[in-house]
Amino acid sequence: RDVMVEVPAQPYAYSLPLRKAALVMIDFQKDFLCEGGFGGALGNDLSHLQACLPPAAKLLAACRAAGIAVVHTMEAHKADLSDLHPAKACRGNLPEELRIGAVGAMGRILIRGEPGNGIVDEVAPIEGEKLLYKPGKGAFYATDLEPWLHSRGISHLLIAGVTTEVCVQTTMREANDRGFECLLVSDATGSYFPAFKAAVLQMVTAQGGIVGWTADADTVAAALS
Ligand code: C5J
């Protein structure tokens, strides 16, 4: 029998059936969090993302302890760039040496298997957790995430990751449209632009939770313990 957990949340309590839940850790990659990657190439201040790592690590530990399925996504393209749209390749109007696929300080930028494309140590995957390469912003686009979740009877998603208004929000909206009940963990997500993060937290919970719920990592961990 499933165990239901009530999480105090915005805009109201979130009911989480533990056996039907997954934690989706989005793009906690060196390419976004460390110098020499894609985020840095775009001129971003990387320090804003670092703050979400301790809460994300706490959330991950709490979900593992509760037996919740864990998915780690990585924004990543194939080495031959066959899954990279021209529209994405050219975006930013960057010089050749800063584009997706160029060789940066941590290997080829945003390419599968390159050092910079890997997940940071603080929230590194462990055996048995799903690793998902995604070529887009949303984790449901051109991936097997939806059938994978359905095949396990998963209906509820706890969501963390970077960046809040890009890959995290896109994934949460994709999930919402596919019928998943989503809670975005507010301090386990980060943006290069704090104002954008604040806006996302407000916009997903406005209108009675039009996209879903939010709660911080301590609150989720306490509910799971
Ligand atoms: C971005 C992401 N920001 N993971 N990717 O390009 O949010």
Q: What is the mean pLDDT of residues 171-183?
A: 98
Using a pLDDT cut of 70, give the percent of the chain over it: 100
pLDDT digits (tens, 9 = 90+) for 111-143: 999 999 999 999 999 999 999 999 999 999 999
For residue 75, report the distance from its CA to the centre of ligand 1, in Å.
7
pLDDT band at 41 (very low <50, low <70, confident <90, very high): confident
Ligand 1 within 6 A of CB of 75: yes
pLDDT band at 70 (very low <50, low <70, confident <90, very high): very high
pLDDT band at 98 (very low <50, low <70, confident <90, very high): confident
Interface ipTM: 0.95
pLDDT band at 93 (very low <50, low <70, confident <90, very high): confident
From the CA of 170, give the closest atom in ligand 1. 7
pLDDT of residue 180: 98
From the CA of 192, give the closest atom in ligand 1. 3
Ligand 1 within 6 A of CB of 185: no
Residue nearest to atom 4 of ligand 1 (CA): 167
pLDDT digits (tens, 9 = 90+) for 145-161: 999 999 999 999 999 99
Spatial CA neighbour of 112 closest among 82, 150, 74, 140? 74
Pairing of strands 21-26, 14-17: unpaired
Ligand 1 within 6 A of CB of 192: no
pLDDT band at 35 (very low <50, low <70, confident <90, very high): confident
Q: What is the mean pLDDT of residues 210-221?
A: 98
Distant-in-sequence, close-in-space partners of 28: CB < 8 Å, separation ≥ 6: 53, 56, 72, 119, 120, 122, 123, 160, 161, 162
Spatial CA neighbour of 217 closest among 4, 9, 5? 9
Structure-token pair, residue 223 = 């509910």
pLDDT band at 97 (very low <50, low <70, confident <90, very high): confident
Q: Which residues are designated catalytic?
A: 27, 134, 167
Residue nearest to atom 2 of ligand 1 (CA): 167
Q: Tokens 């879903």 correspond to what residue? A: 212
pLDDT of residue 140: 98
Collapsing DSSP states into helix, strand and coil, what is residue 150?
A: helix
Ligand 1 within 6 A of CB of 31: no
Ligand 1 within 6 A of CB of 163: yes
Residue nearest to atom 6 of ligand 1 (CA): 166
On average, the pLDDT of the chain sits at 96
For residue 168, report the distance from its CA to the centre of ligand 1, in Å.
8
Q: What is the mean pLDDT of residues 56-84?
A: 98
> What amino acid occupies position 84?
L
pLDDT of residue 116: 95
**Which is more confidently placed, 93 or 20?**
20
Pocket test for ligand 1, best of 98, 163, 173, 192 (most atoms within 8 A of CB): 163
pLDDT of residue 39: 87
Distant-in-sequence, close-in-space partners of 212: CB < 8 Å, separation ≥ 6: 172, 176, 181, 182, 183, 184, 204, 205
Ligand 1 within 6 A of CB of 165: no
- Alpha-carbon 126 to chain mean position: 17
pTM of the model: 0.97
